[in-house]
Amino acid sequence: MTVVLGIETSCDETGVGLVRDGVLLGDALSSSMDEHVRFGGVVPEIAARAHVSALVPCVRAALDNARLTLDDVGAVAVTAGPGLATALHVGVGAAKAYAQALGVPLYAVHHLAGHAAADTLAHGELPPRSVVLIVSGGHTSLLLVRDLVRDPVVHLSDTVDDAAGEAFDKVARILGLPYPGGPAIDRAARAGDPTAVAFPRPLTGRNDPPLGFSFSGLKTAVARHVESAHAAGRELAVADVAASFQEAVADTLTRKAIRACREHDVSTLVVVGGVAANSRVRALAEQRCAEAGIELRVPPPRLCTDNGAMIAAVGDLLVRSGARSSATGLSVQPSIEL
């Protein structure tokens, strides 16, 4: 059986994973997140430079972690997109070099297919059809996944503005809570009343796209609420605002995810990404999935966020299916080149 080396460099995480036959053997991760904080967002040049210095040490660390050597690697898989071009080039260049030097096949992997595959490392194969909700600082997407190897992942919807995690981070800043905002809001909300402020549920009107997401209006609603409290000289009930905002996000995400399952006759929902760690998102997803007879799968946090293991997981599926090297069959992002 083939050991697949997976490499992920699409954003600010340098991720390396080793997978054989559906089993994660070892992984390593390095993040340049701290270097971007003062710029208020990921700076592609800084991310790329960080990948250049972190990649080879991460490959070594993942191999050590798995008690393997490069000679054990039988295939290389790499994120080909979507992502920051300069950052992707580092991973793709390195993957080509490893594959060439080792004389093993190279597979291009779609980043979102990687997120969908992450759960297979925690809970085994996905059923023939599943809906995947990816909610992080960079994505808010619903995907229909049929067969990760033979069928293109279908992109059902996206956010039209901010990603869900981005909304958590921006609202935390408005409320004077620390970065990253998601965990801070999650903590603050514990002492709050989720019904205290009636924040809008974006894109849930009759004429709105039923699966579409938008979070920028919700963020503005929080900002207005805070401004009017200040203007009226009222003390801001931070816990109540945090809980009410979190409720609006959790309600919208879970409602639309379940709607996607119903529309596509799917009985498994996978939730991944940093926001999948949110206690209210998890609780509401569990409750609504149970009511709808849908199986809910949420991988552990380490596999939820960007990582190399998920890319190796797709590579492993490709190898086992006998796919030809570099032919992923994924058409979600046509601009991918390799």
> For the chain, how many residues are written?
338
Q: How far apart are CA 247 and CA 15, in angstroms?
A: 32
Q: For residue 298, give the 3-state DSSP assignment.
A: coil
Per-residue x/- track, 107-146, Zn ion (CB under 5 A): ----------------------------------------
Considering the complex, what minimum distance in angstroms separates the CB of residue 216 from Zn ion? Answer: 20
241 near 225, Cβ under 8 Å? yes
44 binds ligand KG4 (CB under 6 A): no
- Which of 98, 168, 213, 215 contacts ligand KG4 by CB under 6 A? 168
Pick the stretch among 123-131, 208-216, 233-241, 267-275 that binds ligand KG4 (CB under 6 A): 267-275
Is residue 251 near ligand KG4 by the rule CB under 6 A?
no
Backbone angles phi, psi at 18, to 5 degrees: -125, 120
For the chain, the farthest-separated pair of C-alpha atoms sits apart, in whole angstroms, at 70
The residue whose Cβ lies closest to ligand KG4 is: 182
| Subset of 264-323 contacting Zn ion (CB under 5 A) | 306
The DSSP bridge partners found for residue 26 are: 18
Looking at the Cβ atoms of 240 and 306, the one nearer to Zn ion is: 306
Dist. CA 301–CA 68, nearest whole Å:
25
Sketch the per residue contact string, 170 through 209, with ligand KG4: x for CB under 6 A, - otherwise: ----------xxxx--x-----------------------
Encoded one letter per residue, x for contact with ligand KG4 by CB under 6 A and - for no contact, window 110-149 reads --------------------------xxx-----------
Q: Helices marked H in 143-210 — which ranges?
A: 164-174, 181-189
How does 12-32 read in b/e, with b if 16+ C-beta sit within 10 Å?
A: bbbbbbbbbeeebbbbbbbbb
Per rule CB under 6 A, is residue 328 in the interface with ligand KG4?
no
186 labelled binding-site residue: yes
Return d(Cα 183, Cα 161) in angstroms, integer.
21
Cβ proximity to Zn ion, 140 vs 252, nearer residue: 140
Q: Give the separation between CA 241 and CA 189, rounded to whole angstroms.
A: 8
**Where does this chain bind Zn ion (CB under 5 A)?**
306
Can you give the binding site for ligand KG4, defined by CB under 6 A?
11, 136-138, 165-166, 168-169, 180-183, 186, 273-275, 277-278, 305-306
